[in-house]
Amino acid sequence: MSTTVRYTAKKYKVGTLNLPVIRPFPYKEIVPCLLGGMDKVVAVLDQNVMPGRGGIMFQEIKECLYHYDTRPEMLSFIVGLGGVPQTEEKIKAIIDKVKNNFYFADEIDFTDAD
């Protein structure tokens, strides 16, 4: 059972959007998913980093929503750099951080940094 399914079972509004293909980038499919429920916060988990800009997927998804007047707050989390595994504990920590409003706008969070 996935981490998001466990949180959903506990009545938290958590979802997962997996992108099996990124080229051509599926803008038309992503926008309704992110704006449909008008989520307050979208946390993007990347396994790559663009120095000073966050993850590469974060930039792509942020660009999808740029032209909309109302859009959710976007957060970039970098996980799994250098082959470090993504664990359920890391995903839980990210969900809790977002749920408890323990973040700063435009912050890039390196979850694997010690």
> Does residue 94 sit within a domain?
no
d(C-alpha 109, C-alpha 62), whole Å: 16
User: What per-residue confidence (pLDDT) applies to 3?
Assistant: 77
> Does residue 101 sit within a domain?
no
Q: What does each of the 114 residues of the chain score in pLDDT, given as a tens digit?
A: 677 778 777 877 888 888 888 999 999 999 998 887 656 888 899 988 888 788 899 999 999 999 999 888 888 888 888 888 888 888 888 888 888 887 766 666 777 655
Provide the domain limits for residue 53: 3-82
> Does residue 109 sit within a domain?
no
d(C-alpha 74, C-alpha 41), whole Å: 6
User: What per-residue confidence (pLDDT) applies to 113?
Assistant: 57
**Token representation of residue 12:** 């938290």
User: What per-residue confidence (pLDDT) applies to 36?
Assistant: 78
Q: 14 vs 9, 27, 29, 37, 70, CA distance in Å?
A: 10, 21, 18, 11, 20
> Does residue 113 sit within a domain?
no
Q: What global pTM score does this model have?
A: 0.84
Q: Is 23 helix (H, G, I), strand (E, B) or coil?
A: coil
> Does residue 102 sit within a domain?
no
How many domains, the chain? 1
> Does residue 89 sit within a domain?
no
* CATH code for the domain in which residue 45 is found: 3.40.50.920
> Does residue 93 sit within a domain?
no
Q: Prior bond to 24 cis, omega within 30?
A: yes
